[in-house]
Amino acid sequence: MSTGSVDFGAVGDTPPIFAQAANADIVYVAGSPITNGQGILVPGHSTIRTIADLKGKRIGFTKGSSAHNVVIATLEKAGLTYEDITPVYLSPPDAGPAFVNGSIEAWAIWDPYFAIGEKRQNGRILVNASEVAKTNSFYLANRDFAYNNVQHTRAVIKGLAEAALWAEAHRTEVANALTAVTGVPLEVQTVAANRASFVIGPVTDEIVETQQAVADRFHKLGLIPKQITIRDIVWRLAQT
């Protein structure tokens, strides 16, 4: 997206923070709140019962992802530090088998993998992301594309927002469609669709503040090399 190979896309809260810190040529053009579609799983038989029990444990998640932020926020809630755990950086396809075979003792992840972990891999929800911090997903655009194609960008956002409103009222159809497209079992996609928030809207001041807190958290831990200001890359032409 930074180079213009992709004009527009969807992402969680953490990747754009790493991108901005690397001077990527992107802007936030729309936002969507995340409800209970992500969190931390532990095996059903695990002795981990509270957040405090994560101390000293191996936690798998994708580095620089929204799950990374969930882990850090969860640790903060329990008064733990990043050094109190052993982070194991894994992509979702690699983390699933590691979770099943016990190579990791907890797994921070998002839907539909979150639901797969519950329904197919004997996972138990230790933490829902909404219990520890506000989280959002975003639509991003290449900066030049957004500013040079204002009407097109607005039209894309409008179409997505209309589709999102339909999805809010047709969750069964959403689950069926996702199963058809992804091959993920309907049982799993139904769980994911029923707890998802599909609403899309402007990047409000509240969303900016929430995202800034995430950026500040990552900078404090040395996970991004410099302080960034989220507001600097929010596209302000979303409305006519």
Question: What are 55-112's pLDDT values in tens digits?
Answer: 999 999 999 999 999 999 999 999 999 999 999 999 999 999 999 999 999 999 999 9
Question: Is 45 in contact with 103 (CB distance < 8 Å)?
Answer: no
Taking the C-alpha atoms of residue 152 and residue 77, their distance in angstroms, rounded to an integer, is 42
Least confident of 70-79, 97-106, 129-138, 203-212: 129-138
pTM comes to 0.90
3-state SS, residue 38: strand
Taking the C-alpha atoms of residue 29 and residue 42, their distance in angstroms, rounded to an integer, is 35
Residue 60 CB burial class (10 angstroms; 0-12, 13-18, ≥19): buried
Give the domain ranges of the chain.
Answer: 38-131
Residue 140 half-sphere exposure toward CB, CA atoms < 13 A: 25
Residue 240's pLDDT is 53
Q: Where are the alpha helices (DSSP H) in 78-227?
A: 92-101, 113-120, 143-148, 150-169, 171-182, 186-195, 205-220
CATH class of 38-131: alpha beta
Share of the chain above pLDDT 70, in %: 99
